[in-house]
Amino acid sequence: MLHFFHTSDWHLGQFFYNHSRHYEHDCFLNWLLEQLREHQPDALLIAGDIFDVVNPSTAALKQLNQFIAQAQAQVSHLQILMIAGNHDSGHRLEQVEPLLTKYNTHVVGLIEWLDDNTLNFDKLLRPIHNAQGDICAWCIALPYLRPAEITGNGQDYQQTAQATEALYQQLIEEARRRKTKDQSLVLMTHAHMQGGTSSDSERPILVGNAEALSTKLFHDDIQYVALGHLHRPQRIEHEHIRYSGSPIPLSFSEVNYKHQIVKVQLKPDSPATIQPLLVPRRVPLFKIKGTLDEVLQKTRDLEARNPLPLAQQAFVDIEYYSDTPPPPDFRQQVEAALPQDNYRLVRLSRMAKPLTQQIASDTDDMATPIAPPTPAELFQQLWQKLGFVEDPQVLKDFQQLSMQAEQQDDQETAQPVKPQPSTATAPPDAV
């Protein structure tokens, strides 16, 4: 039997509106150490985006290395497998692997082609041992694939999708050949799968999700697919194909996510036993919306507790709507209304009028013919929407620029069209 944890998208070193998340990541890693000590798994799979940037800070690097050393000290037989995500530098991750192997930790940052243009299967197929040292499973460890890594290399693949499918097929076939009937087969990759729900904090890869992969790539022999990249914990079409999600919320769109790691138990030729382990949230996030008065009241109603260090104070995001620009000191009013030393106001923005009010307003005006707005009216509307105070001088300057643009356009239109030179080849005597 294989018993392992699946986690991903730690994003160590992240700054959230210029606030470090180091404290929250420390809390998560300490909690994870407790889970390792309690459950004693055979392996810990980290499916990419270990760091938030390709060049992580010294503090983030130290945080990871310290965790690996502590994890191995608590579970002596624990094997850690990590792959690079699209936020990671595969080269940087692999630089320290010779040292990490001392802690039974293996990193796959990049795929590798041999001199004969075949994949280095030994690098991408990793055996997983149980506490007795026997191989109980094989893990296909596939980092985030960039097009330049998988097209070419002597292969006749010009399309990224075709090259990706061929690469998966080669790896899965080799893994099936290596495993015995009493061993399980696991696949870990960092990719966007078709049907997956994303959040605001995932870095876009291609517009329109053109890079999204299909679960048809995965053979039926694979008992569990450990995915990284999307921050919402979710299964994709099947129970055994899962994103573990990020351990902490990385944007306000993730306020309601149930952040978790996934505990998995596998027996050969049997469905996976899957149990989410919920990660406690140490620093809350609050999103407040409403009119100017409603925002101030909701802010005053936030629970006040004992003063907290800055790193432990809750994050607050406020969106207000108003038909008129807010008072110049509105931000100061909001910050004064927040219980002191408990909350951090990280964003204050003006939003459009709620849809229900827009519909009601449109219904009231249906009987009145509406003329198209002039450029000056459009400018005034945008100026007010951005929260600026109405300024007659600014409007006068805009009107002057608008008149100059119209005059220039009229001059260009009035100019005669110059005849274009012929593209026909001139006879030799005409040269």
Three-state DSSP string of 199-221: CCCCCCCCHHHCCCECHHHCCCC
Phi/psi-derived region of residue 385, left when phi > 0, alpha when psi is between -120 and 50, beta in every other case? alpha
Residue 44's pLDDT is what? 98
Separation of alpha carbons 185 and 141, rounded Å: 11
Separation of alpha carbons 225 and 243, rounded Å: 9
Between strands 343-350 and 135-142, the pairing is unpaired
Instruction: Assess whether pLDDT exceeds 80 at residue 349.
Output: yes
CB 159 within 8 A of CB 147: no
- Tokens linked to 205: 């890869």
Residue 31's pLDDT is what? 98
Mean pLDDT of the chain: 85
Separation of alpha carbons 289 and 401, rounded Å: 37
- Tokens linked to 54: 């390709």
Question: Domain 284-370 class?
Answer: alpha beta
Q: What's the CA angle centered on 215, arms 211 and 218, to 5 degrees?
A: 115
Q: What is the pLDDT of residues 88-107, one digit of tens each?
A: 999 999 998 889 999 999 99
Q: How confident is the model at residue 149 (pLDDT cuts 50, 70, 90)?
A: confident
Q: How confident is the model at residue 209 (pLDDT cuts 50, 70, 90)?
A: very low
Which positions ≥6 away from 102 have C-beta within 8 Å? none
For the ranges 304-318, 363-377, 401-415, the lowest mean pLDDT is seen at 363-377
Instruction: Assess whether pLDDT exceeds 50 at residue 67.
Output: yes
Closest CA to 199 of 257, 238, 244, 241: 257
> In one letter, which amino acid is 80?
I
Residue 228 burial by Cβ neighbours in a 10 Å radius (0-12, 13-18, 19+): buried
Q: How confident is the model at residue 396 (pLDDT cuts 50, 70, 90)?
A: confident
Across 222-228, average pLDDT? 96
What CATH number matches the domain at 2-278, 2.40.70.10, 3.40.50.720, 3.60.21.10, 3.90.79.10? 3.60.21.10
Residue 10's pLDDT is what? 98
Instruction: Assess whether pLDDT exceeds 90 at residue 161.
Output: no
Separation of alpha carbons 392 and 355, rounded Å: 31
Higher pLDDT, 291 or 398: 291
**Cα dist from 295 to 15, 289, 344, 389, whole Å:** 26, 6, 15, 20
Separation of alpha carbons 52 and 180, rounded Å: 38
